[in-house]
Amino acid sequence: MYRDIAENLLRCIEPVARAHGLEIVDIQQSGGKGRGLLRVVVDIPEGTGRVGVEDCARVSRELSHSPDLDALIPGAYMLEVCSPGLDRVLGREVDFQRAIGQRVRVETREPIDGRRKFRGELVSFVDGEVHLQAETGPVRIPFERIARAHVVYTTGNVAARG
């Protein structure tokens, strides 16, 4: 989630993305010292996910030459700059507002009604709450309780169950 991004990473990376007309959607860090991965997910301000490969490459080149970023990440790491993709991550409130009407997958930090994982149609995002029509019925999830969320990409026609 965007709110979980380390402040020092955000201060280093966000100005570079903005200089290229992009927004940070998420920054993910994985791996340990010496073999880490830093994934920077960027989007255009309209939130369509239509970020060109050239845009990602420009941001990547600039970040890869940043001594400030190298100072924040000990050891060797691989830098990946990418667009949100088809299964776009929903990390900011605006991402949820833009995804209304789409199928989403949401995982919460702690259980809500005994569950942590929900899948269904995002009906609305009102007053900091995700309103989801899940397979089991309507669910309201406070934004601050969300650990991870993604749009669920489906292909072809889905047959109705009867």
Q: Does 125 score more than 70 pLDDT? A: yes
Q: What pTM value is reported for the model?
A: 0.77
Query: Which superfamily, per CATH, for 93-151?
Result: Ribosome maturation factor RimP, C-terminal domain (2.30.30.180)
Q: Does 10 score more than 80 pLDDT? A: yes
Q: How confident is the model at residue 137 (pLDDT cuts 50, 70, 90)?
A: very high
- Average pLDDT on 4-18 reads 91
- The pLDDT value recorded for residue 159 is 39
The top-scoring range by mean pLDDT among 4-8, 88-92, 140-144 is: 140-144
- Average pLDDT on 42-50 reads 84
Q: How confident is the model at residue 34 (pLDDT cuts 50, 70, 90)?
A: low
- Average pLDDT on 67-76 reads 83
Phi, psi of 34 (to 5 degrees): 90, -20
Q: What percent of the chain has pLDDT over 90?
A: 56
Q: 41-45, 73-77, 134-138 — which is least confidently predicted?
A: 73-77
144, burial (CB in 10 Å: exposed 0-12, middle 13-18, buried 19+): exposed
- The pLDDT value recorded for residue 32 is 65
**CATH entry, 2-82, from 3.40.50.300, 3.40.50.2300, 3.30.300.70, 3.40.50.720:** 3.30.300.70
> Where do the domains of the chain lie?
2-82, 93-151
Residue carrying structure tokens 């791996």: 31
**Pairing relation of β-strands 129-134 and 115-126?**
antiparallel
Q: Judge contact between 90 and 151, C-beta under 8 A.
A: yes
- Average pLDDT on 110-125 reads 94
